[in-house]
A and B are shown apart, each in its own frame.
Chain A
Amino acid sequence: MQEIIPFFQWCDDTAVAQAIRNSRVAFPVIENFHLFALTVLLGSIVVLCLRQFGLILKNQTISEVATALRPWNRWGLAVMLTSGILLFLSEAMKCYGNTSFRIKMLFLFAALLFQFTIYNRIVKNEGVTAPLGGKIAAGIALCLWFGVGLAGRAIGFLG
């Protein structure tokens, strides 16, 4: 993976990265927004998956719940990615050597890929009850997104 070190070094040297590092409050403030977005993004996924399992909001169809939550899911994701990129830039070289960061990126790409190719299409067509396949997809989505969160927290704890 050494061939991508120059890219990480470039990220680390950008003006934005330096500005965040030079500020006492920038990193905590951005991380705070990262946490708000975690609440909104994972919250919307938890609600939709619970609905697919038939445990919550049973009087609405799955596609109705998905439609109601979609803008919140998208905004949560947008804030999550924006704040995450800023946090990454400010410590890009630290992230390069961090195993948890690499695992987090794998989970993130898997979660995004799964959500936008398979999961969103599945929930769009589901009615009152989800078939077994839909429930399995909900379980996979939950595991992937919580995997992102778990590995994210581990960046600071484990390295």
Chain B
Amino acid sequence: MSILSMCQWLQDTSIGTSIRESIWVFPIIETTHVLGLSISVGLLLVSDLRLMGFIMKKRPASEVYEQIKPWMFLGFAIMVVSGIFLFWCQAVKAYNSIFFKTKVILLVVAAINAIAFERGIYRKIEKWDNALVPPMEARVAGWASLILWAAIITCGRTMAYTF
């Protein structure tokens, strides 16, 4: 079965069809996805700004990161769940959209960047935890994260214009 026919099957399921054809469910899920940005990327922004050495410099970088992390993950959980339902009901359009494909690739790159940070420079946190400006590797991770998420938001918004 090709990916396209899987997408067709997915959006023809009763859940996909009922979300697509509902008056209220689709707008509610879509609004949750948009406003969820403030909790997911909004919190990520604060954590990344600390990594880049811009805010909360008097507090250890690990403290800011660990305090924000659970709420940020809650935000991303909201984004993933609402995003899956949005994809579910419009899978074929998404599959045919260059912006959606780009968005998925960028999401994978953002995940790799986050894992590389956790497995890399964050393992040596005790050496730079109190540094006013974290080492280059941490700052690059912060910049990369923000640029990637700005691009992900752009792709997400733009794909909706082409639907």
Contacts and interface: CB of A to CB of B under 8 A. Distances in A.
Contact of A39 (B38, B56, B67, B71): B38
A104 B52 CA distance: 35
B153 A36 contact: yes
Interface string B52-71: 00011001000110011001
Contacts of A137: none
A134 interface: no
A139 B30 CA distance: 23
Interface stretch (B3-11, B41-49, B85-93): B41-49
A96 interface: no
A47 B42 contact: yes
Given A68-B55, A153-B34, A39 B41 contact: yes
Contacts of A23: none
B30 A153 contact: yes
Nearest to B39: A46
A36 B146 CA distance: 11
Which bucket holds chain A's interface residue count? 20 to 34
Interface stretch (B13-21, B116-124, B154-162): B154-162
B63 A59 contact: yes
A159 to B, nearest CB: 12
A68 B56 contact: yes
Nearest to A51: B67
Contact of B157 (A35, A60, A65): A35
Given A35-B37, A56-B67, A57-B64, A43 B42 contact: yes
Interface residues of B, number: 28
Interface SS of A by simple majority: helix
A69 B46 contact: yes
B46 A39 contact: no
Contact of B153 (A35, A46, A149): A35
A77 interface: no
A127 interface: no
Given A40-B42, A46-B39, A58-B67, A31 B55 contact: no
Interface of A: 28, 31-32, 35-36, 38-47, 50, 55-60, 65, 68-69, 72, 146, 149-150, 153-154, 157-158
